[in-house]
Amino acid sequence: MTPKDMMVVDANAEAMGISRSSLMENAGCSLAQKIVEIIEPSRVTIFAGVGGNGGDGFVAARHLLNYGFEVEVLLLGHPCQFRSRETRNNWQVLERIDSILSDLRIKTVNDSSQINETESDVVVDALLGTGVHGKIREPISTAIDALNQSRGVKVAVDIPSGLDPLTGVVSHKAVQADHTITFHSKKIGLEKAMTDYVGTIHVCDIGIPRDAELYTGPGDLLRLQGRDQKSHKGQNGRVLVIGGSKDYSGAPALAALAALGAGVDISIVACPKIVSSNIRSFSPDIIVKSLPSDAILPSDVDNILKSTENVDSVIMGCGIGTEEGTKVAVNQILENIEKPVLLDADALKLVDLDIISTELELVLTPHSAEFKKVFDKGVPKDLDDKIGLIRNLTLKNSFTILLKGEIDVIGQNGLFKLNKTGNPGMTVGGTGDCLAGLVGGLMAQGYSGFESAFIGAYINGKAGNHAQDKFGYNFTATQLLGFIPQVMKP
């Protein structure tokens, strides 16, 4: 698990009703219990930073007092620098404990000269955790030296300070822990790091439900990157929607508009001439490339492939129709395209998956009937069976599947996520096109097909929930589109 994954899970747990203060209390309590398992009650010094890692240390200090330890807490920084209300609250609890009647001593350290050698039997690193960035600054740098020079048992909270939580690399200096106490799941950097730094790793359950990790939630929006303030037109993604036919003009327009809602700069629709005027009328924000035929045919393939050279992702299938010539065109495009592709709607009925390169970033977004058409397999009713089916298929193939339903199942390479945002009002036509546009728009911005699929599913369903709150179940896909920016707002 990466630090970003852990932030996501924390936020999703909070959305489920589990407060951050509860998680910090559980983490600090688990930390204290592990220390008790490691050593008999004795003297402990906790080096604490101003972030959540320090807050875990403050909670542990309180519990260690109750276990009979003499506790010294060194806060490296000033209380005004605390990064969360939970950390501040737990520091204030320590301040209120009577130092005369207890074995607690607390001290704030603002300068490295205030850090002395410690003779404690246990020294706890609650300094940086996953918050390390570049060279270690003072007074943290001196604190790490003091920790490493101590003869006591060295315990790191979550991850040794100075160790890169993603790579396990130490670029400057890091605590050399005898034990690392991490929470919920082992961080990826711990698995890659040298034992000299992490020592024995203990993973503690702090009460985060498995659902916070498996189901999408508001925390997953933290995966989205902020826009570069110096970016220029097109730098935030260009999408090409290939679709439309004489009977369907709204579908590609909805997908193109949803892609814009996902944050892309430019959204283009390549469509038959017969529907180009209708699609232009939807919005002046869409660029429309009119193709000469009344359907997308093999004669259009070269023109379409040339258009893909200047975009970052392609959405194909929305309203595209099922003519035999269109089937040939769809598969010729897929044989030759080099950009990430999302296949939806009619394209799923036309595609021959055997011809597609395993190197192609591909996302399929079928509902149950389309799934049966593509894979010649029915979709089971039981959720566990659905998950098993998607996991097996994606282990054997290189693409991502977003199986739409009451609970969406999203899978890639055996990994899976679930999404339960949405409501019965989303059976209205066009909401699937909005989903395709959202996922394709995220792919255009550099997110993987898997991430784009489960984040897009969450956003689409959440926008549908907002639409249902305002209009009841009788809302339209166009009305859903209007709520996408609201859902994506940080």
CATH (domain of 462)? 3.40.1190.20
Q: Which domain holds residue 93?
A: 3-214
Same domain, 307 and 384: yes
User: Where a domain ends, among 179, 197, 214?
Assistant: 214
Is the whole model's pTM more than 0.75, yes or no? yes
Same domain, 134 and 159: yes
Same domain, 319 and 343: yes
Same domain, 151 and 25: yes
User: Where a domain ends, among 184, 214, 244?
Assistant: 214
Same domain, 163 and 254: no
Task: Report how many domains make up the chain.
Answer: 2
User: Where a domain ends, among 214, 237, 271?
Assistant: 214
Same domain, 116 and 178: yes
pLDDT score, position 417: 98
Same domain, 27 and 90: yes
Edge to edge, the sheet with strand 408-412 lists: 287-291, 266-272, 238-242, 313-316, 341-343, 362-364, 400-403, 408-412, 415-419
Beta carbons within 8 Å of 134's beta carbon, 6+ residues apart: 171, 172
For 251, 354, 364, 374, the CA distances from 404, given in Å and listed in that order, are 17, 23, 10, 14
Same domain, 183 and 228: no
Same domain, 343 and 312: yes
Same domain, 291 and 379: yes
Tens-level pLDDT at each residue, the chain (490 residues) = 888 999 999 999 999 999 999 999 999 999 999 999 999 999 999 999 999 999 999 999 999 999 999 999 999 999 999 999 999 999 999 999 987 889 999 999 988 889 988 999 999 999 997 767 778 999 999 999 999 999 999 999 999 999 999 999 998 899 999 999 999 999 999 999 999 999 999 999 999 999 999 999 999 999 998 887 777 777 899 999 999 999 899 999 999 999 999 999 999 999 999 999 999 999 999 999 999 989 999 999 999 999 999 999 999 999 999 999 999 999 999 999 999 999 999 999 999 999 999 999 999 999 999 999 999 999 999 999 999 999 999 999 999 999 999 999 999 999 999 999 999 999 999 999 999 999 999 999 999 999 999 999 999 999 999 999 999 999 999 999 999 999 998 6
Same domain, 246 and 142: no
CATH (domain of 181)? 3.40.50.10260
